[in-house]
Amino acid sequence: MQRSPWSRGEKIAVIALGVTVVGILLSLTQPEVRHFFGLGQAVPPPLVQSTATSALSASMTAIDSSGSQGVLIPAEVQKWCYIEPGGGTCDISRFVQFRRADGTILPYAVQMLAGEPVEIKIPAGFTAQVWDCYHNSVVTGPQDVKKACTMTVARGTSIPD
């Protein structure tokens, strides 16, 4: 008598294990699932690599000279931030000078690092790419963003890459 390679019980066990693994992966990566289970906010996919300092240092990397829009510093963008009840913080440590993936610092762009949501009031003359913990959107000022978990903002009408 030849035995079937997989018994009914073994097939059920493998399917249950697969469903469990998929469920764990979803709960760790999808904001909607994390929210449903009350696990807090997942960190969004990074828009750019960033630094933990807002100082522009020539010794670290060259500053992009194409930024004719004028300097935008983290402290200025921090002033646009308002704490949402039960939301995140507007601490200056959350705002850093924008750094491209190749390490080039852009003096006319600032990034707000990922965290719990805050409200941002984008003034006229600025454009921001905002992650609201669920979706990316591009916002041109003046506009109130009611929920921002991370953001890249620059002077003018384009977002740096």
Question: Are both 13 and 83 inside the same structural domain?
Answer: no
- Domain residues for the domain of 88 are 74-155
Asked, for residue 60, whether it belongs to a domain, the answer is: no
147's enclosing H/E stretch is strand 143-148
Q: Could you tell me where the DSSP H helices lie in 43-157?
A: 74-78
Within a domain: 3: yes
Number of domains in the chain: 2
- The model's pLDDT over 58-74, given as tens digits with 9 standing for 90+, comes to 333 334 444 445 899 99
Whether residue 50 is contained in a domain is answered as no
Q: Both 32 and 79 in a single domain?
A: no
Model pTM above 0.85: no
88-144 pLDDT, tens digit per residue, is 788 899 999 999 889 899 899 999 999 889 999 999 999 999 999 899 999 998 999
The pLDDT value given to residue 144: 93
Q: Is residue 131 in some structural domain?
A: yes
Same domain, 20 and 87: no
Gap between the Cα atoms of 68 and 95, Å rounded: 21
The answer to whether residue 54 sits within a structural domain is no
